[in-house]
Amino acid sequence: MTDQDAAAADQEARAGAAPSTRGRRGPVASFARETAIILVSAIVLSWVVKTFLAQAFFIPSASMHDTLLEGDRVLVNKLVPGPFDVHRGDIVVFADPGGWLDQQAVPETNVVQDALIAVGLMPQQSEDHLIKRVIGLPGDRVAATGDGSPLTVNGVPVDESVYLAPGASPSEIAFDVVVPSGSLWVMGDNRQSSADSRWHLGDPGGGAVPVSDVVGTAFVTLWPVDRVGLLRNPGDVFDDVPDPS
């Protein structure tokens, strides 16, 4: 083999090896790439779940004692209302219909927390949402005498002792309302510390909450660890209530 032939062979060998060398990635670069893919996928998945399926919320007040306490985190099923219906006894999270939160202190958040909330990696801080229990559906007549007697729904007294806060009266405010079409009558379990539908009788809608404002139903307490558990609908409380006439 001549010197020229040897040089040509060496050049071809170098050319053949070059793509393989350029295609290799170091372990640090591969790890960074895989980590980035995992993080982006997790963020996208979390955003999809938060937007369409479920969302975590922070409980800021005592209005739902002892079912929910301040600082609890709950998970909300966003398929209700929608594919599934709202029922009497459900615990719902809803957007402020207008003026309900004027007097309620809400936790402040920073830019990082706002970003985590937006993609579903941190519970909603409830700065513009409330959580209450559904007592009346569209067309229901809900009434209270205000003297400690049970509420009536469509003329039937309901025993709410299974979820009312210890010592709480069914209502210290007398009212008698028919829930408008497309709306819900909601009340807190800690009745004497809950500015709920009763406190907004003079508002547009007479204190009822539009179903369109409902984010979903709370179905599990996620945090703190010692309070993790399902939030079940106490269906038997309203079993004897007839449909509105």
Q: Which letter does DSSP use for residue 213 in this model?
A: G
Distances (CA, A) of 34 to 38, 116, 160: 6, 21, 53
* Count of the separate structural domains present in the chain: 2
* 150 and 231 assigned to the same domain: yes
Per-residue pLDDT of 1-57, as tens digits, reads 555 555 555 555 555 544 444 555 677 777 777 776 666 655 555 554 445 468 889
* 168 and 231 assigned to the same domain: yes
Instruction: Report, as an integer, the average pLDDT of 155-164.
Output: 97
Q: Which residue among the candidates 50, 61, 63, 183 is catalytic per the annotation?
A: 63
Question: CA–CA separation, 116 vs 223, rounded Å?
Answer: 17
| Residue-range definition of the domain harbouring residue 141 | 55-238
* 61 and 77 assigned to the same domain: yes
> Does residue 244 lie within any of the structural domains?
no
161 token code pair: 């002792």
SS3 145: coil
* Overall pTM > 0.85: no
Higher-pLDDT residue of 201, 110? 201
Last residue of a domain, one of 35, 52, 69: 52
> Does residue 38 lie within any of the structural domains?
yes
* 80 and 45 assigned to the same domain: no
Q: Where are the beta strands (DSSP E) in 33-128?
A: 54-58, 73-77, 91-95
* 208 and 173 assigned to the same domain: yes
CATH code for position 65: 2.10.109.10
Residue 217 β-bridge partners: 77, 92
> Does residue 157 lie within any of the structural domains?
yes
The total number of residues written for the chain in this structure? 245
Q: Which residue among the candidates 50, 61, 132, 171 is catalytic per the annotation?
A: 132
* 132 and 198 assigned to the same domain: yes
Which pLDDT value is given to residue 233? 96
Is 63 among the residues known to form the active site?
yes
